[in-house]
Amino acid sequence: MDKSQIREHMKVVGSDGHSVGSVDRVEGERIKLSKSDSADGQHHFIDMADVADIEGDEVRLRKDRA
């Protein structure tokens, strides 16, 4: 997986197919999610180790949305 393929506004999807949010930006080895997609209005982060694949405009995770 090449993290340079991850771009702003890409959809992030859990292994269960449910949306987790959208990419704000990549910071080191973490993806920062847009706070506008968050129920609590805060930024959340995903570790690169949790990324299973990048396909089209979607980042697919190894874990489900929960």
Mean pLDDT value across residues 4-29: 95
User: Tell me: the pLDDT tens digits for 29-47?
Assistant: 999 999 988 878 888 999 9
- Quick one: pLDDT at residue 61? 96
Q: Tell whether the model's pLDDT for residue 48 goes beyond 80.
A: yes
- In CATH terms, the superfamily for domain 3-61 is PRC-barrel domain (2.30.30.240)
- The CB density around residue 7, as the number of other CB atoms within 10 Å, is 12
DSSP state of 62: S
* Of residues 26 and 42, more confidently modeled: 26
- The CB density around residue 54, as the number of other CB atoms within 10 Å, is 17
| Percentage of the chain modeled with pLDDT above 70 | 98
pTM score:
0.89
Picking from 25, 17, 11, the residue whose alpha carbon sits closest to that of residue 54 is 11
